[in-house]
Amino acid sequence: MTTQQIFDLAIQVGIKNDPRGKAEVARVLKKNRRDFRELSKKKQAEYDKEKFVNPYSDSRFLSGDKNKKVKRVLVGIDIDSAEVILAKELERSGKPIDLIIAHHPEGAALADLHEVMDIQTAVLARAGVPENIGEGVLKERLEQVWRSISSANHYQAVDVAKILGIPMINVHTPADNCVWKFVDDYISKKKPKTLGEIIDILKEIPEYKKATELHAGPGIFAGSEKSRAGKIVVTGMTGGTSGSEKIYERMSHYGIGTEIAMHIREEDRDEAIKHYINVVIAGHIASDSLGLNIFVDELEKKGVEIVPCSGYIRYSRTKARS
Ligand SMILES: [Fe+2]
Ligand SMILES: [Fe+2]
């Protein structure tokens, strides 16, 4: 596979597992083309045309040769300058890295992270929270996220990869869509009645089992083992980053009993408790790993060797099946 083929495959896997559904994603891409046509020439020149084919603003081909043949990839949750140097070091030990795959956004993908947050509205709508409410609550938070990211040094690690000549991409929401779909399906099949049962079910999944051994497994952040779960929604798994704390009051009104998320901010937890919503935290890095694993398995099937780093818990479902 080439570097570009790997990136394109990531986008396809993301669309396949997208909570909005394929048709809605196609509509969004079409709308981007329409919006572009209506822009002034000056604005068109600044427009990121990647948006015609890639619905994930937080996932980008960051730097390097797009036609390079890939035998071995370095995959990590956070790729910092240190991991890029590590990729270069591996060359010396006879294991050259052809492509670096980061999960968390960097470069342009970090600058535009807020644009994928709309997916959260779709996740909540599936659980019965009307779209106008999901969208309205999220609006302010979206701008807040954009402002808070704007001061970052977005291209620091990307620049190191560029200087060393190692191609680099990042796959954020496509992988997060995979973990969302996997956990959502898994939980709906098992129908847990209490929070304790949710924790037990999550720990059946290899990534969460491993994370438990590493002292970073699933935990109850609001409620107790014996608390009734009520209606469960797997939110806070995809859609960029944490949503707005204002959503908990609405979730409560629309009959949601328990939220399962990757991680939670203190202000969100406080609101959840205030509105009697239970919170089960599956674990941040374990959840990110699970999502990445589902995508990376597709590369492994095509003969690409995976070198995990930066907290990434690699578990191969391809190898487990064979
Ligand atoms: Fe993630
Ligand atoms: Fe993450």
User: Span 236-253, mean pLDDT?
Assistant: 90
CA distance 52 to 137: 27
Ligand nearest the Cα of residue 263 is 2
pLDDT at position 322 is 75
Q: What is the CATH number of the domain that holds 213?
A: 3.40.1390
Cα 298 to ligand 2 centre (Å) = 21
| Total of domains in the chain | 2
Cα 217 to ligand 2 centre (Å) = 15
103 lies in the same domain as 207: no
Tell me whether residue 230 is exposed, middle or buried, using C-beta atoms within 10 angstroms of its C-beta: 0 to 12, 13 to 18, 19 or more: middle
Ligand nearest the Cα of residue 171 is 1
pLDDT at position 98 is 98
93 lies in the same domain as 142: yes
CA distance 231 to 253: 12
Residue 148 lies in a domain: yes
pLDDT tens per residue, range 174-233: 999 999 999 999 999 999 999 999 999 999 999 999 999 999 999 999 999 999 999 999
Contact by Cβ (8 Å): 207, 214: no
144 lies in the same domain as 233: no
CA distance 123 to 208: 22
pTM as predicted: 0.96
Cα 117 to ligand 2 centre (Å) = 13
Ligand nearest the Cα of residue 310 is 2
Cα 47 to ligand 1 centre (Å) = 26
198 lies in the same domain as 291: no
Cα 237 to ligand 1 centre (Å) = 7
Cα 285 to ligand 2 centre (Å) = 6
User: Ligand 2 (ion): which residues have CB within 5 A?
Assistant: 288
pLDDT tens per residue, range 31-80: 999 999 999 999 999 999 999 999 999 999 999 999 999 999 999 999 99
Residue 296 lies in a domain: yes
CA distance 218 to 282: 4
Return the number of other C-beta atoms located less than 10 Å from residue 204's C-beta: 10
Cα 10 to ligand 2 centre (Å) = 16
Cα 169 to ligand 2 centre (Å) = 16
Which has more pLDDT, 144 or 258?
258
Q: Which domain holds residue 277?
A: 179-284
User: Which residues have C-beta within 8 Å of that of residue 12, sequence separation ≥ 6?
Assistant: none
29 lies in the same domain as 139: yes
Cα 191 to ligand 2 centre (Å) = 26
Residue 321 lies in a domain: no
183 lies in the same domain as 297: no
Tell me whether residue 132 is exposed, middle or buried, using C-beta atoms within 10 angstroms of its C-beta: 0 to 12, 13 to 18, 19 or more: exposed
251 lies in the same domain as 144: no
Contact by Cβ (8 Å): 258, 278: yes
CA distance 86 to 218: 30
Residue 320 lies in a domain: no
Q: What is the mean pLDDT of the chain?
A: 96
Contact by Cβ (8 Å): 187, 260: yes
168 lies in the same domain as 300: yes
30 lies in the same domain as 129: yes
234 lies in the same domain as 164: no
Cα 113 to ligand 1 centre (Å) = 11
166 lies in the same domain as 40: yes
